Amino acid sequence: MAQEPKKRQSKARGRKRRTHYVLEGVPTQTCPRCHNVKLSHQVCPTCGTYKGMEVIETKTKSKK
């Protein structure tokens, strides 16, 4: 049977315990072909390449 805490912990003590609960940034790289930022180990959304090979076709902007 679980016991209840005998004293209440202060806000500062609880916050000190949670100081390492931090969100980390998303790992990004620059595409070697088009030099735009992309997610690591993902197909580049701009040029559609992955590891030097064209994997998906991308839409090209047509000038009117």
Dump the DSSP string for 26-44. PPEEE-TTT--EEETTS--
Q: Give domain status of residue 48, yes or no.
A: yes
Q: How many domains does the chain have?
A: 1
Q: Tell me the pLDDT tens digit for each residue of 34-48.
A: 999 999 999 999 999
Does this model's pTM top 0.85? no
Q: Give domain status of residue 35, yes or no.
A: yes
Q: Give domain status of residue 33, yes or no.
A: yes
- Is the predicted pLDDT of residue 26 greater than 80, yes or no? yes
Q: Tell me the pLDDT tens digit for each residue of 8-25.
A: 999 999 999 999 999 999
